Amino acid sequence: MRSGKLALLAAVMAFALAWTRWSLAGVEPDGPGEMPPRDVSVFVQPSAAELAPMPADFERIENGWLTLEFPSSVRDRIEPLARAADDLRAGLSEDMGQPVLDHALVRVARTPEQMAELAPRGAPPPAYAAGVAYSSLHLALLALQAPDTWEAPDAAELLRHELAHLALADAVAGHHVPRWFDEGLAIRESGEAWMKRWEALWNASLGNRLLPLAELDRGFPSDRYDVNIAYAESADFVRFLMRSADRARFGSLVQRVRAGASFDRALEDAYGTSVRKLEYEWKEEVGRHFGMVPMLTGGGVLWAIIVGLAFAAWLKKRARARAKLAQWAREEAALDAAIAAAEASRKQAELEPAEDELPASGPHAPVVEHEGRWYTVH
């Protein structure tokens, strides 16, 4: 009975989350949320790196520390990225506890195939990636179409993700950090897929399937379900390390790795406890957030949250519909006004005689009209 109740409550929560995400996005749900691997920070010896020349139909924006190369046809999409780059770098420097990104080159491709052409020779990006960072070269590549789906990824989100990789490599002077830390930081900084990460953590906590950090240190799983958990865990554990009370500790961690300490040793020294203890505390926090006890003992709160999410989604859809209807009404009113003005102008033209039909006359030359023509009376 208890297991059946748990399964029912989990199914209700999953449905509520899926429906809410669909409502907020304005599209139909297409199955379980997935977080495919975004990229892998690729190391290339700078002395051996050889970049293909910028294509003839590309142009360049020089923004101090940042150089952007992109197709001329998408300039309107790239210029906002250049304008936001300084704030992004400032935020990354604050998080790392030191200045980062004194220079970076970002090459923007139309497709994943073109992104591979723009990559260093002999070091193509992963086939599944819409973006990739080459930290040793201070280089990031972005594609304006995602592999397989051919959808347009969020270019600003991609840029934040890849620059976070470059910034971390700068901050630790190229010393090794675990992949979960590298990817977790990039995901956190980009703010991507927060709802999918929330769902992945929920499901993993419910099924007691959270992955040990030591396992993620060795590499991310290949299983589609487990890799979602791996990315969600990575981002959330980095969030845990960067809590307001621990921001100075996080900066100390980065500084110790930069000085040459191993990552585990630097983490233990900065936070004053072992990695295993930190992981235990994090899991306890996840359990409090996603545990089943509130569902069984305080179901009213859970239902209130579900109803609140659904109602907020409905309100947003209703507001979107009203805005669209108002836009259509304005467009129709403008069209009606234009038609009315044209009709009035046409009628006025019909009422007024043509200039060549009016005889020249002075005050002493009276005129008369007969059968549609004008005659001067002498």
Alpha-carbon 39 to chain mean position: 15
Higher-confidence residue of 28 and 264: namely 264
Average pLDDT, the chain: 80
Q: What is the pLDDT of residues 39-76, one digit of tens each?
A: 555 666 777 788 999 999 999 999 999 999 999 999 99
Give the C-alpha separation, 335 to 108, whole Å: 40
Q: Is the pTM of this model over 0.85?
A: no
Q: Return d(Cα 69, Cα 74) in angstroms, integer.
A: 11
pLDDT value for 288: 86
Residue among 185, 181, 143, 180 at smallest CA distance from 160: 185
Tell me the one-letter amino acid at 83.
R
Q: pLDDT tens-digit profile of 320-370?
A: 656 656 665 676 677 667 777 777 777 777 776 555 555 555 555 566 666
CA distances, 314 to each of 20, 62, 95, 200 (Å): 8, 44, 36, 24
Least confident of 26-40, 46-60, 168-182, 293-307: 26-40
Domain assignments of the chain as residue spans, ordered by start: 35-171, 176-292
Superfamily covering domain 35-171:
Collagenase ColT, N-terminal domain (3.40.30.160)
Q: Are 166 and 67 in contact (CB under 8 A)?
A: no
Burial class from Cβ neighbours inside 10 Å (0-12, 13-18, 19+) for residue 375 reads: exposed
Which residue from 115, 111, 110 is spatially nearest to 125, judged by alpha carbons?
Answer: 115
Q: So what's the pLDDT on residue 127? A: 84
Say what the pLDDT of residue 368 is: 61
